[in-house]
């Protein structure tokens, strides 16, 4: 068995692991990242096929966190941002067998058919009808019903939650999934009245720093270009095809054993960062055989995830009668007409994702609504998609490209009690020296959240350079 020493070992090369290793490297630390797959990126990978860019996980990102913005700035000329096209602002819901545009402003709110007349009246009556939550950890559905009415909760917010989490708004925790919204819900009876008062209370206060990238973005070459750029920056610190089999806690650190091309190797290290999907993290915690590690693993085992299949379908432009001007559509969980969670019109949002004479659709199957669909093979899913979407999108021909990406445990579900569980995990970790967890099963499922958690984790281990230091070269 080959044996080497390293100060920090990061296990897992998805966005959480890559960001963690990046920040450690930036702080001048000796770090090694071990990824079991042939390439890094996890869900943030892009497949290039026949002129199409096929995202294997997230399709776009809204740069809303300073940590992610700084990371992109650090990568500099190694990546090139591609903003979403103007048509992406138009979004639809599938309601009653047709696509209904969501309102783009106050005027269209009154004319859009996304809610019935009674539903609109209840929405506008939020300042009168809204109430503070009765419990400490309400669900997203309960929050939306209390503020905006049952119809809005089911048709609009229910569809949005399905699109983001693949889950059921009536089961997911508001404060775990949307912490800022949860705080507002606890502090203000009416969100509408609070929103109207914000500009007045900001008079005389300094403005928030201007974001470098506004709106939805992707990157030339896809989101995988970011993963590849981070890996290039890390250089020899990244090792792929390395599957960690055990972690042994020793007096001055850990021994990480892994298999590389069938050869067993090990690293002696002071710090271990688990940045794997939750199932692998639980298995590695169990391998440590310590009481605290076992308790952390048991807590993580209570987190459920939903399966998801991303079905990329490429078509000749002349074979689609619908103009596809927009972002795409989501399907409210109560709608029975479609089996899928939603469809993105990928080549309308980012034209570079398909050849000029082609269209690319991204169909999402599974989630909490229809988890059994994730068990169907590609042929069955394509047949179902063509059957259900043919009339809706005026499909006149079969797809010229089919690609699927399957995630058996795609999105962790933050049920009520999740934030307390995370607090307990943090408390347990404090008594396990130099063991750290990062991942989308803790405090946020988005790319922004994963990068933020990675930076916060590294900040607890080392002193990171500030953004000003980075700009000045210090």
pLDDT digits (tens, 9 = 90+) for 269-279: 999 999 999 99
Clarify whether residues 194 and 165 are in a common domain. Answer: yes
* Predicted confidence (pLDDT) at residue 473 exceeds the cutoff of 60: no
Clarify whether residues 392 and 430 are in a common domain. Answer: no
Q: What is the DSSP letter of 100?
A: E
Clarify whether residues 120 and 152 are in a common domain. Answer: yes
* CA atoms of 114 and 15, how far apart (whole Å): 36
Q: H-helix or E-strand containing 112? A: none
* CA atoms of 135 and 137, how far apart (whole Å): 6
320 — pLDDT class (breaks 50, 70, 90): very high
- Per-chain mean pLDDT for the chain: 91
Lowest mean pLDDT among 75-84, 268-277, 320-329: 75-84
472 — pLDDT class (breaks 50, 70, 90): very low
205 — pLDDT class (breaks 50, 70, 90): low
Whether 74 is covered by a domain: the verdict is: yes
Q: Do the Cβ atoms of 32 and 237 come closer than 8 Å?
A: yes
Q: Would you say the C-alpha torsion 405, 57, 298, 246 has a positive or negative sign?
A: positive
| End residue of a domain, out of 137, 168, 201 | 201
* Predicted confidence (pLDDT) at residue 391 exceeds the cutoff of 70: yes
Whether 103 is covered by a domain: the verdict is: no
* Predicted confidence (pLDDT) at residue 207 exceeds the cutoff of 90: no
- Please state, for a pLDDT cut of 90, what percent of the chain lies above it: 78
SS3 395: strand
* Predicted confidence (pLDDT) at residue 328 exceeds the cutoff of 90: yes
Domain that holds residue 122: 115-201
Mean pLDDT, residues 461-469? 64
Predicted local confidence at residue 282, as pLDDT = 94
Looking at per-residue confidence, does 172 or 63 come out higher?
172
Looking at per-residue confidence, does 374 or 337 come out higher?
374
Residues 6+ apart with CB under 8 A from 321: 393, 394, 395, 396
Clarify whether residues 440 and 291 are in a common domain. Answer: yes
SS3 141: helix
In this prediction the pTM is 0.92
Clarify whether residues 259 and 284 are in a common domain. Answer: yes
Residue length, the chain? 474
* CA atoms of 32 and 192, how far apart (whole Å): 49
CATH code of 335's domain: 3.90.660.20
Clarify whether residues 232 and 254 are in a common domain. Answer: yes
Q: What is the DSSP letter of 206?
A: P
* Predicted confidence (pLDDT) at residue 466 exceeds the cutoff of 60: no
Question: Phi-psi category of 385—alpha, beta or left, where left has phi over 0 and alpha has psi -120 to 50?
Answer: alpha
Clarify whether residues 395 and 431 are in a common domain. Answer: no
Predicted local confidence at residue 470, as pLDDT = 46
Mean pLDDT, residues 405-422? 96
Nearest Cα residue to 240 out of 33, 467, 16: 33
471 — pLDDT class (breaks 50, 70, 90): very low
Clarify whether residues 229 and 164 are in a common domain. Answer: no
Clarify whether residues 255 and 399 are in a common domain. Answer: no
Angle between helices 179-187 and 191-201 (to 10 degrees): 100
- Please state, for a pLDDT cut of 70, what percent of the chain lies above it: 94
Taking only the tens place, the pLDDT of each residue in 336-362 is 889 999 999 999 999 999 999 999 999
Q: Do the Cβ atoms of 57 and 405 come closer than 8 Å?
A: yes
SS3 310: strand
Clarify whether residues 17 and 143 are in a common domain. Answer: no
Lowest mean pLDDT among 200-209, 223-232, 425-434: 200-209
Taking only the tens place, the pLDDT of each residue in 288-301 is 867 888 899 999 99
Q: Do the Cβ atoms of 73 and 65 come closer than 8 Å?
A: no
Q: Which residue has the tokens 């067998």?
A: 97
Lowest mean pLDDT among 22-31, 40-49, 208-217: 208-217
Clarify whether residues 53 and 186 are in a common domain. Answer: no
199 — pLDDT class (breaks 50, 70, 90): low
* Predicted confidence (pLDDT) at residue 467 exceeds the cutoff of 60: no
| End residue of a domain, out of 412, 433, 449 | 412
Domain count, the chain: 3
Predicted local confidence at residue 171, as pLDDT = 97
Q: What are phi and psi of 118, to 5 degrees?
A: -65, -35
Looking at per-residue confidence, does 425 or 107 come out higher?
425
Clarify whether residues 235 and 178 are in a common domain. Answer: no
* CA atoms of 454 and 20, how far apart (whole Å): 5
Looking at per-residue confidence, does 470 or 45 come out higher?
45
* CA atoms of 374 and 366, how far apart (whole Å): 5
Q: H-helix or E-strand containing 234? A: helix 224-234
* CA atoms of 18 and 14, how far apart (whole Å): 6
Taking only the tens place, the pLDDT of each residue in 21-30 is 999 999 999 9
211 — pLDDT class (breaks 50, 70, 90): low
Q: How far is C-alpha 276 from the geometric centre of its chain's CA atoms?
A: 15
Whether 342 is covered by a domain: the verdict is: yes
CATH code of 36's domain: 3.50.50.60
């Amino acid at each position: 068995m080959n044996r080497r020493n390293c100060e920090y070992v990061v296990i897992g090369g998805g966005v959480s692991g890559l960001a963690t290793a990046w920040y450690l490297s930036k702080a001048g630390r000796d770090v090694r990242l071990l990824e079991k797959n042939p390439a890094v990126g996890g869900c943030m990978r892009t497949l290039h096929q026949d002129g199409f860019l096929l995202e294997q996980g997230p399709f776009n990102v809204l740069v809303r966190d300073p940590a992610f913005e700084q990371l992109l700035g650090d990568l500099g000329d190694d990546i090139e941002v591609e903003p979403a096209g103007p048509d992406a602002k138009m979004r639809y819901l599938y309601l009653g067998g047709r696509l209904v545009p969501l309102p783009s402003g106050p005027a269209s709110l009154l004319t859009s058919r996304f809610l019935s007349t009674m539903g609109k009246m209840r929405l506008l009556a939020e300042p009168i009808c809204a109430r503070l939550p009765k419990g400490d950890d309400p669900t997203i559905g309960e929050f939306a019903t209390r503020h905006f009415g049952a119809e809005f909760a089911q048709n609009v917010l229910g569809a949005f939650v399905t699109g983001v989490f693949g889950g059921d708004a009536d089961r997911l925790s508001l404060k775990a999934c949307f912490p800022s919204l949860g705080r507002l819900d606890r502090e203000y009876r009416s969100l509408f009245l609070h929103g109207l008062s914000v500009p007045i209370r900001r008079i005389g206060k300094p403005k928030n720093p201007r974001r470098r990238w506004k709106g939805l973005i992707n990157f030339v070459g896809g989101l995988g270009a970011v993963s590849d750029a981070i890996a290039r920056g890390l250089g020899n610190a990244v090792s792929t095809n390395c599957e960690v089999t055990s972690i042994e806690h020793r007096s001055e650190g850990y021994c990480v054993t892994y298999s590389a091309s069938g050869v067993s190797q090990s690293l002696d290290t002071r710090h271990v960062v688990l940045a794997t999907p939750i199932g692998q993290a639980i298995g590695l915690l169990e391998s440590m055989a310590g009481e605290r590690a076992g308790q952390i693993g048991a807590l993580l085992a209570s987190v459920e995830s939903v399966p998801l299949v991303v079905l990329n379908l490429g078509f000749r432009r002349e074979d689609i009668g619908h103009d596809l001007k927009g972002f795409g559509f989501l399907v409210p969980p109560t709608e029975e007409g479609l089996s899928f969670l939603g469809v993105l019109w990928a080549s309308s949002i980012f034209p570079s994702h398909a050849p000029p004479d082609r269209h690319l659709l991204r169909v999402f199957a599974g989630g909490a609504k229809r988890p059994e669909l994730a068990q169907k093979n590609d042929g069955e899913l394509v047949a179902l998609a063509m059957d259900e979407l043919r009339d809706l999108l005026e499909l006149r021909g079969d797809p010229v490209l089919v690609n699927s990406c399957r995630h058996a445990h795609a999105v962790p579900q933050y049920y009520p009690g999740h934030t307390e569980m995370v607090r307990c995990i943090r408390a347990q970790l404090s008594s396990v020296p130099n063991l750290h967890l990062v991942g989308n099963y803790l405090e946020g499922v988005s790319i922004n959240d994963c990068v933020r958690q990675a930076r916060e984790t590294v900040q607890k281990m080392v002193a990171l350079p500030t953004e000003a230091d980075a700009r000045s070269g210090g």
